[in-house]
Structure 1
Amino acid sequence: MNYRLAPPLLLGLAVLSGCASKIPKEALALSQESLQVRQLETRRFATRDEAQLLSASSALLQDMGFTLEEVNAPLGILVGQKTRDARRAGQIAGAVLLALITRVPMPTDSYQIMRASLVTRPQPNGKETAVRITFQRIVYDTQERATAAEPILEPEIYQEFFAKLSKSVFLEAQQI
């Protein structure tokens, strides 16, 4: 290797690295919509007992039909999934009509995999633990292709989950 080329090469690399553009501050800021979604997905409970919250959450998810895939108690993480039918009468009727006209079978939605991811986090005040759950779904068609992957953001689902979790935590605390 020619050692006379090393200093100019290093100098050129240093100059080029200085030309990199900086990330604007607003690019790292959360949007108002993402803050609203986070509020929808998160509740605080007046306990520091993460094990109790995880136990109540895992029982509730199983009652809702989810199979737990991952449980990491030291990190406060639960992940579960369930499979549900995704067929819609209107979509099937449209596919049949189109297949009759074109003589080409059209795929329709077949099933969906719903996932739930839950995380607990002790709060700095030392008296509360935050629980955040997210629900997502992936829809597959009759040809086993994913046709949609999206978060589930219906407020009713989250309200119902947290209402049931509150009752479950209360019952476990009372050892009922």
Structure 2
Amino acid sequence: MTKKLLLVATLSLLMTGCVAGIPKEALQLQAESLANRQMQTRVYETSEELKILAAGTALLQDLGFTLAESETKLGVVTGIKHRDARDAGQVTMAVFVALFGGGAMPIDKEQTMRVSLVTRPLEGKRIAVRVTFQRTVMNTHNQITTQEAIITPEVYTEFFDKLSKAIFLEAHQI
């Protein structure tokens, strides 16, 4: 009995010693995090959060996104969109590799765009809206080749310009 207890205790200590902790850098904010958050957020002078969510939902659908989740009490809307990710350069290279005996080379096939729109009430009849875009690219072997957040300022500027127009239309029931 004592040997079994000693064995269990030893194995427990060995197993807990193998558990890696969270690296310190994993919880550190990157220098560009604040700039990205500011780029992804706009404040609107209204207290009508539901109208902003309705306008945002309509805009996402107009942009070709399919709604994946919507929780108005939490101010969250998410959507996805599938698009072709084939690139002529990749296809040409794959053909040359195959012709010269290199076998079947995987090429990008499909990308999935994900969007999250989150609203947050602020003091003084204002609503903060944050939107984030991500994309995942799969190849012809169904492997992920790219997974990234989209941090192009023009994407967010264009989105918020369209959202402002959609909020105006929603407010005037047009």
TMscore range, shorter length:
0.7 to 0.9
Alpha-carbon deviation of 1:52? 0.4
Distance of aligned partners of 1:119 and 1:92 in 2 relative to their CA distance in 1, 3 Å threshold? same
SS in 1 for 2:83: strand
The partner residue of 1:128 within 122, 126, 140 is 126
Structure 2 match to 1:17: none
**Alignment TM-score, normalising by the size of structure 2:** 0.82
Letter in 2 for 1:153: I
Deviations 1:135-176 (A, max 9, x none): 000000011111111011111111111001101111222223
Query: Could you list the runs of 4 or more consecutive aligned residues of structure 1 that deviate by over 2 angstroms after TM superposition?
Result: 26-32
Letter in 2 for 1:30: L
Letter in 2 for 1:157: V
Letter in 1 for 2:87: R
Q: Does 1:151 align with 2:141?
A: no
Aligned 1:12-51 pairs, distance under 5 A: 30-51=29-50
Deviations 1:27-84 (A, max 9, x none): 8553331111111111000011110010000000000000001000000000100100
Residues 133 and 150, structure 2, Cα contact 8 Å, conserved in 1: yes
SS in 1 for 2:90: helix
* Percent of paired sites with the same residue: 54
Deviations 1:70-107 (A, max 9, x none): 00000000010010010001111111112222341101
Distance of aligned partners of 1:27 and 1:93 in 2 relative to their CA distance in 1, 3 Å threshold? closer
Structure 1 match to 2:73: 74
Structure 2: gaps spanning 5 or more residues:
3-20
1-structure distance, mates of 2:152, 2:83: 17
**Alignment TM-score, normalising by the size of structure 1:** 0.81
Mean CA deviation greater in 56-65 or 157-166:
157-166
Distance of aligned partners of 1:28 and 1:107 in 2 relative to their CA distance in 1, 3 Å threshold? closer
1-structure distance, mates of 2:151, 2:135: 11
Aligned 1:155-174 pairs, distance under 5 A: 155-174=153-172
Structure 2 match to 1:14: none
Structure 1: gaps spanning 5 or more residues:
3-20
